[in-house]
Structure 1
Amino acid sequence: MDDAYSVQTTALEAGGEPEALDQLQALKAGDTFLVADGWGDLRGGADGLFHNDTRVLSRLILTVGQARPSRLSSGVSRDNVYFTAHSTNRPLPPIGGRSAPAGVIHIERRRFLWDGRLFERVRMSNHGIEDVLLPLAYEFGADFADIFQVRGTRRDKRGTLHAPTHDGRRVTFAYDGLDGVRRASCLAFSEPPARIGATRAEFMFSLPQGRRLDLYLECGVGACDAPSGERWRCNAVAARLDMRTKRRRGASVRGPRSPRFNAWLDQSRADVALLTTDLPTGPYPYAGTPWFSTPFGRDGIITAWQMLWLDPSLARGVLTYLAGRQATEVSAYRDSQPGKIMHETRGGEMSALHEVPFGLYYGGVDTTCLFVALAGAYARRTGDLDLIRRLWPNLIAATDWMTQYGDSNGDGLIDYARAAETGLSNQGWKDSEDSIFHRDGRFPTGPVALLEVQGYAFAAWQAMADLAMLTGDDRATEWAARAERVRVLVEDRFWMEDEQFYAIALDGEGQACRSIASNAGHLLFSGLPSAARAQAVTRRMLSAEFRSGWGLRTLAKGQARYNPMSYHNGSVWPHDTAMAAAGIARYGERGPVAMLLGEIYSAASHFSMRLPELFCGFERQPGEPPIAYPVACLPQAWAAGSVFLMLQGVLGVKIDAIEGTVDVDTPALPEGIERLTVSNLSVGNAVLDLAFQRIDHHVVAMPRKRGGTVRVRSLR
């Protein structure tokens, strides 16, 4: 992701202990997201209410009797719609001769996001034996900080932050940016405060014994309507129905007697739904909260690919959106050339002013190849050649980029070197500045040709050859020959016979960077290696060098720069493990994939069934949980989608809507899971269910329901 290393070092070097992102709670709806602590408070750190990469509410702290209440519990609902915090009062000061001891007032703080707004209800219930006068207050503020400021980027100048104004039960915040845009937000209460100012609203509620009262508030961009119970309920229904629709897109997977495994599936599906925004071009999975709640090219493509066999609508939305933002000009600042697919887009002030290049940034060397490869996979999965024909000019432009710009030195390999100092120094998925190096730890000179990118290029040329055959283009043979040329080059120049493994990259002088890294797993995913070499890579990746017991490390133990606490040099990324597992499955191995799926499942169980972006790569110890990485995104799209890609691999399912077939090749199930059912799987005009069951040490697949025409073939 963009400037990942600076996120890491800023958070860890800012002084003292950063508040771990896995201790914060996130909600998202469209281009609005909220990050708060366990009480539901915003305290001006990595938290806040954000809209279009701007923090429109930076402070919101609830106090009861001039003290923070005692928290009982808090969390986000399983469907990711509601955040609820339960707390109780500390001893209240005497007011009018009456006081209340601690623990008699139950305070439920329940909130959700919808239509660019935060809706919150504070429900106060008196469980004491006397009536209570309850003093309650909110502290608030809006700094309109750009997302990059919140992440730690310093600015020499800012625009004008206006003093808040209020009218009795409503506070308005405003900021005039240096980009000439006025940004405004509003905070409103359902009840008029006893006292209100620019930063604080104070209430005094008379709460009879055994009774309850509700206070509603709303906050969002622009003007606020008067909050009320009716508005809260109506918008809550809309938010929940929208999430339900997203979660039910496509097919579903369930284990009939596996409640914990089902909880992981449900949480993962809900996290993908949470991060998916319905854009005019279709659904798009944003990368993750809090730092990456925006469309990313690479992340969107891989998440869509993970979900492709179950829900092709994500791939359609991703392909359409990215085609509309394909580069048409050369820009060193944006790292763009004609035909290149974007890396990320941002909507904040700093991006608009070009203080950072990420307003529309193209510094990803792999995204263009992945775009073409996903188009080919989508066409086979759905038979939707109408979309392919509409995207054909974009696909041709992408392949032109691969030959004219992606291969800067004409050696047949896709490479990168950032065009401006403001861009990313490394432009593959491992984009931290220390992630690509020689065996002795030296950083390579550019341009750098990454191993996995050549696999993506191989897949892209194969996809174009296949699509040409399907659409009647006469260049199929030419593109198939390009794929074969890439395969030969990789096998010749990246393979290290003495290591029985592939080098992570070639440097600008054509020398191999002989580090042993998980990038080879992505090469397996593309299907480029020979069967013998794939077997050798698989054997090493399943060794203790890579396997932590919680998944695969990004870098093998013993390598220069190995650090299990690093961002890319020894940590475990669930999506990385899933890509490798899917690659292993591509070569017919099911047992190792089931094992890796079981390990990732075990890790998920220690993260409340919500996989973070990454976690530390320390070896698994009996009775101990995996060690969290303190500033990992949570939730994160391709982490959430990992289980579904691994399930496809372990079940051996391959869908071809062009041929009207579903192949099931030697399926397996993870240990402890005896049955799985895939329901409402659409293939062309057909719909079917597939039940997988372990019988006498074998797993069999049984079609349960069919509508339309499709052939299910068991391959062994």
Structure 2
Amino acid sequence: MATARPTPVDPMPHVREDAGPQGEARAIPPELGPDAIAVVRGSAFMYSNPVGDVPSGSIGGLVHQDTRLVSRWELRLNGRPLLALRSTPMAYDLAQFVLSNAATSADLPADAVAVRRVRHLGDALTERIEVQSYRTEPVRLELRLAVENDFADLFEIKSEVADRSPWIRRGAAADGTELSLTYARDGFHAVTRLCVDPPAQRIDGTELIWELELGALQEWRLDLRVPLAPDREPGDAARADVDDLLHGRTTDPIREWLATGVRLTSDNDNLQRAVNRSLTDLGALRLDIEVCGEQVILPAAGAPWFLSLFGRDTLISAYQTISGGPHLARGTLLALARAQGRRCHDFTDEEPGKILHEVRRGELTRQGRKPYSPYYGTADATQLWLVLLSEYWRWTGDDDLVRGLRPNAMAALDWIDRYGDRDGDGYVEYATRSAAGLGNQCWRDSPDGVRFADGRIPVLPLATSDIQGYTYDAKMRLAELADGPLDDHALARRLRADAGRLYERFNRDFWIDERGGYYAVALDGDKQRVDSLTSTLGHLLWSGIVPPERADRVVAQLFSPAMFSGWGIRTLSRDDVAYNPLGYHLGTVWPHDNAIAVLGLTRYGYRAEANRLSLALLDAAAEFDHRLPEALGGFYRHRTRVAVPYPTACSPQAWATTVPATLVRSMLGADVVDGRLVVDPDVPPEIGGIRVDRVLAHGRRWTVEARGRQARVRHAPG
């Protein structure tokens, strides 16, 4: 049977769409620079440069539900750009820009006028602009705000944007209070409304103009509002005064949710601050979704480009936070079950029982030009959904939810055995059927993410080793559920037998004795071992598919100089031909990938190694204001002395955001046994003491205090 090579799809898909009837498309837009600032809320973000501006033709703007609502947002004072003094995100949804003027004339030297912009994202984008003169005599100023929108689909923003101008209509209120832009084409409709107070004195095209005359120390204010749902008035939070927002005097359901959750204190400042930052960022990525009449919460994959429901990313993030509370896991399970595959559909790679990869809502998807409605091109999310279902039950004892999701679990199992195993050899393989699909459908989903040690790209379909580990773990966990709330002992026996056969087969077919012994990253379409040495070894420990007698060699590989950079474990060995410290999956260090390895090391009893890796990740977090980026460069720590982020990494990114919770769980050795929270601590001396309050397990709150190998666990009130 003929085999195909992986379809070249970038990790952040770069859409090359035809433009409008003129056939023109813009050149690839510039980045906003390393100091760009994003405010995030739900499925919306506003991304600007440090002045608060979004230059025309850049990747910035206001995006909601994968459609850009503002593509230009530039403030000018007397025709000149302002200068940034300090720009600061005050919270995930709030930013402040303190600015000054450039010299424009003898009457207006530099730094004569201060401008403060305070931006908040809620039900609307709101911005307060304050202008204050420090001249001793009156001064005339022209303030001009240029606003444009191209209504780009999210997939176009970082590549080439089709020209939609023939279908965009502009309107302005006669009294200067509102500017609107409306796009409608082939059934897709979007509106941008900008409301201003005080009204603009003139509107020139899409530029709003105010002529000001300020006395000495006089201040002038302007309020701007762009509703995300233009046909509805924003709620009270969107209309809150900026001073109340800055000083925390407004109610915010996300902050209230965080305030009632788990709380950690530690002697180690790095750990304390990383956990606190993680909780805040998790709030920024929180999605509220209604599923069958129930309002649930779950994490989006990352900001600013992945504020949507994902399969693999969302599942792993929810798993990593389960010890902090079950709410994200419950929401993730229900939301993904609702969208579980029901048919075979080539364009979206959908199959019955399969858990989705990604959901998008932009024009290209709604019109069927992109397959994300949803897209199912992942071969591991289905197993990870079963793993999360098991972990949720262990921590909650929620028999009713497990029983209610039994049809979904059985459909997932059927997908693994019938559709996932494409050729009946007992392994789950993948190969896209979609012309727009992902060639690689494991977590290494870049086009060159899976390669031979000599650099060759393997032929499809691929059976990657991590997916086999997840499959083994999923069947063992589902067997536990079958013996428990599902009350199906025959199913439990069958699943354990299936898992046992996979265990034996995997350890025969994937093991390579050369280079000290390790597991191949995959079997290719010709059943050849793809022999690169990768961080997937840590995933295999997590899943439990590694025999204890091989664990020493696996752990030695992970901490060899070729794999361990000092900041973490590289995705690919330095000894392999394709190694690149900035290759997306070819030598970078991914925090979530390393956190999975930490769990695997803990599972096999390698606590010192787990702590070594945890401390390295906390040191890396400290390099980035205690927020771990999506990925780091794989450079040796002793050589660069500083951690180097992967270019264009998402920040925050969900499964990097939830890493600190995983590290704490590993140090505490926390688990739930027979409805009780139990710990087996090994807290490294560098961390000192740890106290975790309000841990939720089986409906009860617990407090854990640990130092070294000693711990105390007690019920907590409330």
Normalised by the size of structure 2, how large is the TM-score? 0.91
Q: Which residue of 2 aligns with 1:194?
A: 201
Q: Which residue of 1 aligns with 2:514?
A: 498
Structure 1 residue aligned with 2:110, among 85, 102, 115? 102
In structure 2, C-alpha distance between the alignment counterparts of 1:367 and 1:424, rounded to whole Å: 14
Structure 2 residue aligned with 1:304, among 303, 314, 318? 318
Q: Post-superposition shift, 1:8?
A: 7.9
Structure 1 residue aligned with 2:54, among 11, 21, 42? 42
Report the secondary structure of 1:23's partner residue: coil
Cα distance change, pair 228–488 in 1 and its aligned pair in 2 (3 A): closer
In structure 1, C-alpha distance between the alignment counterparts of 2:549 and 2:234, rounded to whole Å: 68
8 Å CA contact retained: 1:22, 1:634: no
Cα distance change, pair 620–216 in 1 and its aligned pair in 2 (3 A): same
Could you list the per-position Cα deviations for residues 372-415 of structure 1 after superposition, in whole angstroms to 9, with x for gaps in the alignment? 11101110111111111111100000000011100011111111
**Equivalences for 1:175-324 in 2 at 5 Å?**
175-178=183-186, 180-221=187-228, 222-223=230-231, 231-233=239-241, 236=245, 241-248=252-259, 250-255=261-266, 257-281=267-291, 282-324=296-338
In structure 2, C-alpha distance between the alignment counterparts of 1:690 and 1:220, rounded to whole Å: 44
8 Å CA contact retained: 1:188, 1:227: no
In structure 1, C-alpha distance between the alignment counterparts of 2:86 and 2:47, rounded to whole Å: 17
Whether 1:69 aligns to 2:82 is: yes
In structure 1, C-alpha distance between the alignment counterparts of 2:105 and 2:199, rounded to whole Å: 22
**Equivalences for 1:510-525 in 2 at 5 Å?**
510-525=527-542
Q: Which residue of 1 aligns with 2:465?
A: 451
Could you list the per-position Cα deviations for residues 119-149 of structure 1 after superposition, in whole angstroms to 9, with x for gaps in the alignment? 1111223344334333221111011011111
Q: Which residue of 2 aligns with 1:91?
A: 103
Q: Which residue of 1 aligns with 2:484?
A: 470
Alignment size in residue pairs: 690
8 Å CA contact retained: 2:324, 2:695: yes
8 Å CA contact retained: 2:148, 2:206: yes
Structure 1 residue aligned with 2:156, among 149, 154, 157? 149
Report the secondary structure of 2:80's partner residue: coil
Q: Post-superposition shift, 1:39?
A: 1.3
8 Å CA contact retained: 2:9, 2:439: no
Could you list the per-position Cα deviations for residues 32-70 of structure 1 after superposition, in whole angstroms to 9, with x for gaps in the alignment? 221111111112422110111000111101112211111
Cα distance change, pair 705–338 in 1 and its aligned pair in 2 (3 A): closer
Could you list the per-position Cα deviations for residues 470-513 of structure 1 after superposition, in whole angstroms to 9, with x for gaps in the alignment? 12113111111111122112111111122311100001222111
In structure 2, C-alpha distance between the alignment counterparts of 1:8 and 1:626, rounded to whole Å: 26
Q: Which residue of 2 aligns with 1:402?
A: 416
Larger mean CA deviation between 485-494 and 132-141 belongs to 132-141
Whether 1:80 aligns to 2:106 is: no
Cα distance change, pair 592–239 in 1 and its aligned pair in 2 (3 A): farther
Larger mean CA deviation between 33-42 and 157-166 belongs to 157-166
In structure 2, C-alpha distance between the alignment counterparts of 1:163 and 1:17, rounded to whole Å: 24
Report the secondary structure of 1:549's partner residue: coil
Cα distance change, pair 516–59 in 1 and its aligned pair in 2 (3 A): same
8 Å CA contact retained: 1:25, 1:35: yes
Q: Post-superposition shift, 1:426?
A: 0.5
Cα distance change, pair 177–533 in 1 and its aligned pair in 2 (3 A): farther
Q: Post-superposition shift, 1:10?
A: 8.4
Q: Which residue of 2 aligns with 1:5?
A: 10
Code of the aligned partner of 1:248: A
Q: Post-superposition shift, 1:212?
A: 2.5
Structure 2 residue aligned with 1:132, among 136, 139, 146? 139
- Structure 1 consecutive aligned stretches of length 4 or more whose deviation exceeds 4 Å: 8-11, 14-18, 153-159, 223-230, 234-240
Q: Post-superposition shift, 1:682?
A: 1.7
Q: Post-superposition shift, 1:427?
A: 0.4
RMSD: 2.6
8 Å CA contact retained: 2:93, 2:122: no
Code of the aligned partner of 2:117: R
Larger mean CA deviation between 196-205 and 323-332 belongs to 196-205
Code of the aligned partner of 1:478: R
Code of the aligned partner of 2:119: R
Structure 1 residue aligned with 2:549, among 532, 536, 554? 532
8 Å CA contact retained: 1:113, 1:239: no
Whether 1:701 aligns to 2:683 is: no
Whether 1:33 aligns to 2:41 is: no
Whether 1:668 aligns to 2:679 is: no
Cα distance change, pair 326–224 in 1 and its aligned pair in 2 (3 A): closer
Could you list the per-position Cα deviations for residues 239-290 of structure 1 after superposition, in whole angstroms to 9, with x for gaps in the alignment? 75123123235322222x4444322221111111101111113112111122
Cα distance change, pair 21–484 in 1 and its aligned pair in 2 (3 A): farther
8 Å CA contact retained: 2:145, 2:207: yes
Larger mean CA deviation between 325-334 and 518-527 belongs to 518-527
8 Å CA contact retained: 1:612, 1:635: yes
In structure 2, C-alpha distance between the alignment counterparts of 1:501 and 1:239, rounded to whole Å: 55
Larger mean CA deviation between 198-207 and 239-248 belongs to 239-248
Code of the aligned partner of 1:50: V
Report the secondary structure of 1:124's partner residue: strand
Report the secondary structure of 1:7's partner residue: coil
In structure 2, C-alpha distance between the alignment counterparts of 1:228 and 1:653, rounded to whole Å: 41
Cα distance change, pair 53–437 in 1 and its aligned pair in 2 (3 A): same
Cα distance change, pair 20–65 in 1 and its aligned pair in 2 (3 A): closer
8 Å CA contact retained: 2:455, 2:578: yes
Normalised by the size of structure 1, how large is the TM-score? 0.91
**Equivalences for 1:575-614 in 2 at 5 Å?**
575-614=592-631
8 Å CA contact retained: 1:555, 1:571: yes
8 Å CA contact retained: 2:69, 2:151: yes
Could you list the per-position Cα deviations for residues 607-655 of structure 1 after superposition, in whole angstroms to 9, with x for gaps in the alignment? 2222221121111146732222221111111111111112211221112
Q: Which residue of 1 aligns with 2:23?
A: none
In structure 1, C-alpha distance between the alignment counterparts of 2:288 and 2:475, rounded to whole Å: 30
In structure 1, C-alpha distance between the alignment counterparts of 2:164 and 2:141, rounded to whole Å: 43
Q: Which residue of 2 aligns with 1:23?
A: 35
Whether 1:553 aligns to 2:570 is: yes
**Equivalences for 1:372-451 in 2 at 5 Å?**
372-451=386-465
Larger mean CA deviation between 534-543 and 307-316 belongs to 534-543
Q: Which residue of 2 aligns with 1:566?
A: 583
Q: Which residue of 2 aligns with 1:641?
A: 658
Cα distance change, pair 18–156 in 1 and its aligned pair in 2 (3 A): closer
Q: Post-superposition shift, 1:310?
A: 0.9
Q: What runs of 5+ residues in structure 1 fail to find an aligned partner?
A: 709-716
Cα distance change, pair 367–182 in 1 and its aligned pair in 2 (3 A): same
Could you list the per-position Cα deviations for residues 279-307 of structure 1 after superposition, in whole angstroms to 9, with x for gaps in the alignment? 11311211112221111010000000010
Q: Which residue of 2 aligns with 1:57?
A: 70
Larger mean CA deviation between 122-131 and 530-539 belongs to 122-131
Could you list the per-position Cα deviations for residues 213-245 of structure 1 after superposition, in whole angstroms to 9, with x for gaps in the alignment? 321100134258699999332995797512312
In structure 2, C-alpha distance between the alignment counterparts of 1:451 and 1:409, rounded to whole Å: 16
In structure 1, C-alpha distance between the alignment counterparts of 2:216 and 2:499, rounded to whole Å: 76
8 Å CA contact retained: 2:541, 2:603: yes
8 Å CA contact retained: 1:216, 1:228: no
Code of the aligned partner of 1:34: M
Q: Post-superposition shift, 1:570?
A: 0.4
Could you list the per-position Cα deviations for residues 336-360 of structure 1 after superposition, in whole angstroms to 9, with x for gaps in the alignment? 1100011011101100112111121
Q: What runs of 5+ residues in structure 2 fail to find an aligned partner?
A: 1-6, 17-25
In structure 1, C-alpha distance between the alignment counterparts of 2:559 and 2:79, rounded to whole Å: 56
Cα distance change, pair 524–496 in 1 and its aligned pair in 2 (3 A): same
Q: Which residue of 2 aligns with 1:174?
A: 182
